[in-house]
Structures are given as C-alpha cells and as structure tokens.
Structure 1
C-alpha cells in the first residue's frame, strides 16, 4: 500500500497553519486548531493570506496507520463471543445466549448513549471513575440535589456501566420546557440561514 501523507502547504502569515488534508487533495486547503473544534480555516493556492472560516472540522486521518490489527482483534473477540453464545444456546437455551450477548454489549460501552422518548430519556453510560466499585446496584435519579429532590427515574449499575431511564423535567414544567426548546430551535435556524 502506498503511503499518503499530509499536504505540506502552509497558509499565509495571518494564521500560519499547515493544511491538514492529504497530499493532492481536491479543493481548497483546510486546517482546524484541534480535532474536536467546530470550525476550520480554509484558503487556496491563489492567495494564501485570504483565510475563510467555515463550520466543521478538518482532521488529518492517517491512512498509512495499520488498521488491520484492530479489525482482526474486533472480529476475533466477536467470533469467540458468538461461539460461546452458540454453546450456551446448545447447552441451556436461546434466552441464556441472548442475555449473555446483551450483557456483553452493555458492559463494553465506553461512552454515553441516550435515546429521547418524549419527556423521558433512556441511556447507558460509563460509571464515573471516582465512584466506588459496585458490581450491581439500583439507585434513583433525582431532579436537583438534597433530600427534598423529586425522583426522576431509576438507574441500574452493572459493574462499569449504568443503565437508566428518567424524565428530563418535572411533569408540571414540561409545557414551559417545550416552549423554551422550540424558541431555541428557531434561534438556531435563524443563525444557520
């Protein structure tokens, strides 16, 4: 495989950054301050000092980095888990195999995932590293802090992850929250256009 490298073109002295696209790329040059920044600078070969700012990130992804090892480990792990689930199905039942695979997927979560269900949200997220080690636990999510806070939902702690379902706001505050959210969405649409 031929190695492709980063474009070597630098912008003018106003910003002074190197293009983060690949060599021989199509279109203008681009660079972002960090890989998670929500804007990037763009310039052309015609005028290196004419810098334009656009939304989105330009992140130089190195294609020469070996990804086959990572893919092989991923496929090997899931092949072994699938074989073990098939063994569980054969020895016990299909319910045991499905529960095993579901728990394996849940316990492998490394970042938060949420699904909005109207006023409620369901999600799974990693346990805070500062929290005490718990193998299994049940807790209540609360609106606010202190003993007088109202219950928002339930959380189930399964080792390194938490699975929870809770309401975003109290039932009495839901209409005002929806109006506020609609006004925010309208402001965002006006900004984009």
Structure 2
C-alpha cells in the first residue's frame, strides 16, 4: 500500500480577501478557506469569478502533515520491529507466558500519556510519572481520597520505573450515590441546552 502525500489547492481568491484555498488539490466544487484553523466561517469562490466571494458557515483549513508525528510513528514501528523478534524468541526458548509478560511490561514502560478506564465507582489507569519525582525502580503505595488524616483509602498504585499503574475508587461509598445523582442532573441540563 503506497501512502500519498496530500497536497493543498494552489488557487488564490481575489485581491480584497487574498487567501489561498485550504481544500485538497483537485477538489470538487468551489474553493474555500478560513482565515485560521479555529474560525467558525469560511470564504468561498470559484475559478470563473474569484471576485465573487461568499461567506459560509464551517471551517475550511488545510492541515499540513506534522513532521514530528511522522518521526514518532517511524520510531514506534522500529521499536515494534525489535520487540516482536524478542518476544518470539522468549516464546520459543521459555514459554508463551514469558513472552506475554515481556510485551506487557514493555507496553507499560512506553506510556507517554495517561490512559484511564472507568468501571462504575472505580477507575483503573496508567500514567507517566512527574519528571521532577525521584526515579523509582519499583514501589507500591496506597492512594487516599484527600490529604486529611481521617480519610479512607481510595486504592492502590504500583510504580514501575517512570510509569504508575493504579486502581482506585473515585469517591467513598457513602458519597457515591449523591455524586451519581449530581452527574445525572448535569447530563439532563446539558441535553436540555441549559448549560
């Protein structure tokens, strides 16, 4: 499968607006462009009459490929190209469990941003540690619902190198019912358009 680089349409509007078309090259229909990526409207014109400019709703902006993203993807492909033979060797030499543990630990240690899964009152997640925090090889700690001395434990966290894995309750059992009611009321207000 060959990847094609998407190119921007080279057409420009009239001198009064002076903006390049932000659609893809060889697009169908009139040209269009917004002044910036967050603008709520766009200018529209045709090749036949570039001076007849129409202002229409919706943003039209050409997103150029981010070179850092391409480098990140290439780096990840390289990492996986090294990992898969290593896991296959562990499977061949030891067992499938050893290979699976190797891949799971490597995936955990390569986390760059936080990922969470909510399971009712509880949440489980993995997140990178703070760069200012001391480097730990392995640690186990309790998580608490607040800084006070009389609060209950919220859950458990395990630190593996610079990554933390944790499972904890979002609220104490006594407060959970009230919190659910507040969340449901907020959802109803949002749906009604009052928020």
> SS state of the match for residue 175, structure 2?
helix
**In structure 1, C-alpha distance between the alignment counterparts of 2:5 and 2:173, rounded to whole Å:** 60
> SS state of the match for residue 139, structure 1?
strand
1:128 aligned to which of 105, 127, 130: 130
Do 2:12 and 2:21's aligned partners in 1 also have CA atoms closer than 8 Å?
A: yes
Q: Which has the larger radius of gyration?
A: 2
Count residues with an aligned counterpart. 183
Do 1:19 and 1:31's aligned partners in 2 also have CA atoms closer than 8 Å?
A: no
Which residue of structure 2 aligns with residue 29 of structure 1?
A: 33
Which residue of structure 2 aligns with residue 90 of structure 1?
A: 92
Name the CA shift for 1:187/1:19 in 2 (closer, same or farther; >3 Å): farther
Matches within 5 A, 1:164-175: 164-175=166-177
Which residue of structure 2 aligns with residue 62 of structure 1?
A: 65
Greater CA deviation, 67-76 or 166-175? 67-76
Which residue of structure 2 aligns with residue 42 of structure 1?
A: 41
Do 1:42 and 1:52's aligned partners in 2 also have CA atoms closer than 8 Å?
A: yes
> SS state of the match for residue 148, structure 1?
coil
Query: TM-score normalized by structure 1?
Result: 0.74
Query: 5+ residue gaps in structure 1?
Result: 34-38
Name the CA shift for 1:153/1:83 in 2 (closer, same or farther; >3 Å): same
Query: TM-score normalized by structure 2?
Result: 0.74
Do 1:7 and 1:24's aligned partners in 2 also have CA atoms closer than 8 Å?
A: no
Name the CA shift for 1:111/1:70 in 2 (closer, same or farther; >3 Å): closer
Deviation at 1:150, TM superposition (A): 1.8
Deviation at 1:25, TM superposition (A): 5.0
Deviation at 1:181, TM superposition (A): 0.7
